[in-house]
Amino acid sequence: MTELIQEKLVYNPKELEPLLQLSKNTINALLRSGRLRSVRVGRRYLIPREAVQQFLAGAAQS
């Protein structure tokens, strides 16, 4: 999975569904709550690669 994360600088929520094995609703809830950092561009959420790595590191510690 690390190889997939390093290929792109940013992801959209749909691309994260198979990577994180989470549903669309769960990813959207994480984005709204701020637990998964993102940048809004118009109506789109862009999630930086570093934000995904930080989220996974935090989830592993919990």
pTM for the full model?
A: 0.78
Name the CATH code of domain 2-61 (choices 2.60.40, 1.10.540, 1.10.3470, 1.10.10).
Answer: 1.10.10
Per-residue model confidence (pLDDT) at position 48 = 96
What is the per-residue pLDDT for 8? 86
**Residue 50: what residue type?**
E
Q: 11 with 49: CB under 8 angstroms?
A: yes
Instruction: Note whether 20 and 30 are within 8 A (CB).
Output: no
Could you tell me the mean pLDDT of each successive run of 10 residues in the chain, 62 residues long? 67 95 96 94 94 87 58
Boundaries of every domain in the chain: 2-61
Query: According to the model, what pLDDT value does residue 47 have?
Result: 97
In the three-class reduction of DSSP (H, G, I as helix; E, B as strand; rest coil), residue 16 is classed as: helix
8-17 residue pLDDT tens: 899 999 999 9
